[in-house]
Amino acid sequence: MRSQNPNRPLLFLCTFCSVGVFVLALVFNIASAIPRFSAEQGAACTQCHFSPSGGAMRNEFGHYTMSVNELTLQSVKKKLMKSYKGPRLSESVLVGADVRMRLLEDGTVNRHQTDYYASFEPFSSTQFNFTFSSGAIDESYLIVSNERQSAFVQVGRFYPQFGLRLEDFTTFVKTKTGIFHRAALEGANLGITTVGHNFSVAYYSVNDQGIYMANLSRYSSLGPLSYFYGASLRFSEELANGTHGGQFAVKSAFGGLGYRTFSIVYEGDLIGESNDSYATYLGASVRIIPGIYAKLDYNFYDPNRNIESGVEEFTRVSAEIWPMPFVEVNPGVAFYTRGPLDGQSEFELRLHLAY
């Protein structure tokens, strides 16, 4: 339900924040990729994740440095650090999990994600990674890299390396391109880092349709400034009916910039064989104190690139709170300024458990 009553948003956010933090504290012991961290640190997603695309299974650096040390209220972290237990079950086995839920003002609860991860490392720089979701295996791949981590081979079923790996599944750069959560494909991805740039090419096959992707990116810093930029391409073979099905062409440009506690990230996508549509995402974030961020996200979609008909647009203002390690509370409001919901607002609370 969308509301225009100015008092209801405040009551909704305050009530759900209080209840949400309390409930999450109770279930803590049961307890993604966030591109702005790349902007803040000037580091690729693989600094914290096993997969080159980012997201899903975290390595031990990502698990401890970001989830425990950086993303938690410092007073809480000090109390819990003595009892911290890492994700490694043995010398060669790591585990993890992501659960995301979305609560709306009318009481509707949407479960966006319930994933469990396992990584097996039989040799150094060699992992078998698995994502289990809804009783099925969503990702299952082998990734092998060299000693310097400057080259890799990824084979199996995995999420494509394309654009920003946003944790928000409602953004147009995901929903309108078909490159979203649960979009794991069977294929192979080859990557190399040279002259400061990361380059990869991939081939996938879906029902005998060949899909080709390429990705180029750079992550670095200059004094207090950190940044990244990149581009991704997807093309596919034409089907018997003369279309490309759900694997149509997409060209993407993306980037990010960080300065101290502030960061901004961007992605713009041309969609279709003839660049028929356009989608863009712009996100800004500022760290108030460790564990609390203020965020602003803008989403735009033009289905025919004439800015006259069919345009959809919304802006979300939110707070990101990490009251304890592995627990995120994200209250926010989305303002729709074009499209089917023009003039309406939507209040929500997102809960994320990430181990």
pLDDT digits (tens, 9 = 90+) for 255-272: 999 998 899 999 999 999
Instruction: Print the domain residue range for 240.
Output: 7-354
Nearest CA to 39 out of 252, 332, 282 is that of: 282
Q: What tens digit of pLDDT does each residue of 103-116 get?
A: 988 888 888 889 99
Check which CATH number belongs to the domain holding 315 and give it.
2.40.160.10
Of 67-76, 118-127, 208-217, the poorest mean pLDDT is in 67-76
Q: Which two tokens stand for residue 46?
A: 């693989």
Residue 2 domain-assigned? no
**6 has a pLDDT exceeding 90:** no
Residue 97 CB contacts under 8 Å (≥ 6 apart), including other chains: 31, 115, 116, 117, 353, 354, 355
| Per-residue confidence (pLDDT) for residue 179, from 0 to 100 | 85
Residue 329 near residue 20, CB atoms below 8 Å: yes
Q: Are 332 and 319 in contact (CB under 8 A)?
A: yes
Residue 291 vs residue 155, higher pLDDT:
155
Specify whether the CB–CB gap between 254 and 269 falls below 8 A.
no
Domain membership flag for residue 280: yes
CA–chain centroid gap for 197, Å, is 21
Beta-strand ranges (E) seen in 179-237 are 185-194, 197-206, 209-222, 225-236
Q: With respect to residue 254, please indicate whether it lies within any of the assigned structural domains.
A: yes
Query: Which whole number is the average pLDDT over 137-144?
Result: 94
Count the Cβ atoms, other than its own, within 10 Å of residue 162.
25
Cα separation, 338 vs 300, in Å, equals: 9
- Complete DSSP assignment for 165-194: --S-TT-HHHHTTT-STT--EEEEEEEEEE
Query: Angle at CA 58, nearest 5°, toward 27 and 121?
Result: 115
Per residue in 15-38, pLDDT tens?
434 334 333 333 333 334 567 777
Domain count, the chain: 1
End-to-end CA separation in angstroms for the chain: 32
Q: Residues of the chain with pLDDT > 90: what percent?
A: 52
Mean pLDDT taken over the chain: 85
* CA-wise closest residue to 354 among 19, 115, 131: 115
Domain contains 320: yes
Backbone angles phi, psi at 24, to 5 degrees: -65, -35
User: Looking at 17-26, 39-48, 134-143, 338-347, which range is the least confident one?
Assistant: 17-26
pLDDT at 239 (0 to 100): 93
Q: How far apart are CA 204 and CA 212, in angstroms?
A: 7
What's the pLDDT score for residue 73? 80
What's the pLDDT band for 4 if we cut at 50, 70, 90? very low
pLDDT score recorded for residue 18: 38
The DSSP line for 263-325 is EEEEEEEEESTT--EEEEEEEEEEEEETTEEEEEEEEEEESSSSSSSS-EEEEEEEEEEEEET
Stronger pLDDT, 316 or 207, i.e. the higher one: 316
Instruction: Tell me if 1 is assigned to some domain.
Output: no
Considering the domain boundaries, does residue 12 fall inside one? yes
Question: Residue 256: which H helix or E strand, with range?
Answer: strand 250-259
Q: Which pLDDT tens digit goes with each residue over 217-266?
A: 999 889 889 999 999 999 999 999 999 988 999 999 999 999 988 999 99
Rounded average pLDDT over 281-295: 93
Compare 122 and 64 and report the one with higher pLDDT: 122
Answer yes or no: is 340 within a domain.
yes
Phi-psi region of 275 (alpha: psi -120 to 50; beta: other; left: phi over 0): left
Task: Give me the pLDDT at residue 11, please.
Answer: 40
Residue 323 has pLDDT above 80, yes or no: yes
Greater confidence (328 vs 8) lies with 328
Q: What is the pLDDT of residues 170-216, one digit of tens each?
A: 899 999 998 877 788 999 999 999 998 999 999 999 888 999 999 99
